[in-house]
A and B are shown apart, each in its own frame.
Chain A
Amino acid sequence: MPFPILQIPFDVRSEIISLLRPNEIVTASFSSKNFKRLIKKQYQRPSKLKFDVHIGYKGLIGNCQGIVLSAEHISELSEKAHEIICTNGYKRGFSSKFPVLYFENRVMGTKMIIDYVTDLFGTCIDELYVDRNGIWAIDWINSRQSKPLACLFLVKADNGDPIADEEAEYVLSEGQWINCDNLMNVDATVFAVHNSRLTDSELNAFLRHWRSGGSPRLEVLDMNFEREVLVPAWFDPELEIVETDEVRRYRYRDGSEMEIQGGFSIQRMDGVNATIVCDLGQFCMVVWHSDGH
């Protein structure tokens, strides 16, 4: 039985719209241009609403409640062609929970879904998960929003990624996958790198860069390696790293906490301390800023 939502009072409609989950808001916004405008005006956005972007061979945008919109390559489309709507220069389908947009160009498609969702909710991107296909998005996202990315996760390409194989050889043989320069230039507060191939000397170079004031916003650098990390022999003596038995807690912005027991202490030139915890294949650095993070 239809319900004429446009005929009910403004406040009631606003309450109904605000009861929808973010994926339902996005889905409803595709029902018409006017309804999208109405949602933008009437949705009471929760103050903590944040979005994450995952970029691999498809682009996904979502939050802790799930994906809200996806961008896929047009080649993924064939099986579901009968359910596809052609509109505004792209093709649109629907999974059971969120719309899926199909593009010839993966980068353009991913940019479009990020633009669409951030415009609809009037918010910015908080976390970014990228494999080597999505490195472009780090600077692109940071340049289009006033608040920089809070967290950046660099992940290994998905095995199902049809373009991973050809690029993997290039990346591995040339060693361009998250090198020391990338690490120094990423302006993130929490930065995680999986399956890193950084060498000891590159890690030392990064620590020298941090100690002299580089990456000033960094709070957590969490890396794991395909090789073993030698502890503590690889620390450059000039870094004046000392062992510590302190137990401290780091609080993430989402309220979760990480306990750091012992490890090694390093001090920046301006007096800010950080703790480094190393284990086989693991390196975690937590910076103790004066604001408690």
Chain B
Amino acid sequence: MSSTEQGTSSAAPAEPTTAPESAAAPEVPESFYYVHGKDKVVHKVSAGALQHSALIHGMISNLGYTEEQAKANPFPFENIDGDILQMVVDWCNQHKGKPTPPEDTNLPKQKEKLFDLVLAVNYLEIKELLTYCCKQVAMMVKGKSPEEIREIWMIPTDAEDEAAEKEAKKRAGKEAAGETAAAAGDAK
């Protein structure tokens, strides 16, 4: 993510959907930043919560935004679904300024969202949450047979892999033949 992308965001800052201030009021007023995902819904997040994300923390440090500037230009994460970004923001708020526990009971329970969550968390570089997600994915295959693991992790069978390889070779052969024919046509 670069400052150019930040500047070209077409997101119109809407009213924040969350107000995640912690119960204990900090002595120094906390600064807030704004992020939005594919759905353009803007989330207000404290700098403390955003520290979990190495990507966003780096962007804030590099840009030197004031709170007003940040409000006018939310960080756009167009590659992250709105509900996934909401989960990430919630997690960051829940773990703001706290040591991360070895097992996280606040992880999203919807398994169907886990794939998108892993991609988002990896992109945002939230190391602890990524570790929790990875543990959850690893737990999916505990006590499962090879055939069950193949289904759970969507691993193609040997026959499917062989068919795909044959198909790829065939396609590559056709493309090479097409290029040769085009080159011959050009030569004429």
Contacts and interface: CB of A to CB of B under 8 A. Distances in A.
Interface of A: 1-9, 11-12, 15-16, 19-20, 24, 27-35, 85, 92, 94, 96-97, 99
Interface of B: 111-112, 114-115, 118-119, 122, 130-131, 134-135, 137-138, 140-147, 149-158, 161
A27 B157 CA distance: 15
Given A24-B138, A27-B146, 17 more contacts: A1-B112, A3-B115, A4-B115, A4-B153, A5-B137, A5-B153, A6-B155, A9-B122, A15-B130, A15-B131, A16-B137, A16-B138, A20-B141, A31-B147, A31-B153, A31-B155, A32-B161
7 contacts: A9-B122, A15-B134, A32-B156, A34-B161, A96-B143, A97-B143, A99-B145
A28 B147 CA distance: 9
A9 B125 CA distance: 13
Nearest to A24: B141
Nearest to A1: B111
Question: Looking at B131, B145, B161, which has the most chain A CB atoms within 10 Å of its CB?
Answer: B145
Q: Which 6 A-B pairs have the closest CB atoms?
A: A30-B146, A19-B138, A94-B145, A5-B153, A1-B111, A31-B150
A5 B141 CA distance: 12
A12 B130 contact: yes
Contacts of B146: 27-31, 85, 92, 94, 99
B170 to A, nearest CB: 19
Contacts of B149: 27-28, 31
A162 to B, nearest CB: 27
Contact of B154 (A5, A20, A96): A5
Main secondary structure of the interface of B (DSSP, over half): helix
B142 to A, nearest CB: 7
A258 B142 CA distance: 36
A96 to B, nearest CB: 6
B122 A5 contact: no
A3 B144 CA distance: 14
Contacts of A29: 146
Contacts of B161: 32-34
Contacts of A34: 155-156, 158, 161
A35 B119 CA distance: 21
B155 A3 contact: no
A13 B119 CA distance: 11
Contacts of B157: 32
A30 B144 CA distance: 12
B151 A2 contact: yes
A29 B137 CA distance: 16
Contacts of A31: 146-147, 149-150, 153, 155
A41 B87 CA distance: 32
Contacts of A32: 150, 155-158, 161
A9 B115 CA distance: 11
Question: Looking at A3, A19, A20, A96, which has the most chain B CB atoms within 10 Å of its CB?
Answer: A3
A30 B122 CA distance: 28
Given A12-B122, A15-B134, A24 B142 contact: yes
B119 A8 contact: yes
A11 B118 CA distance: 12
A30 B152 CA distance: 14
Contacts of A16: 134, 137-138
A234 to B, nearest CB: 53
Contacts of A85: 146-147
Nearest to B112: A1
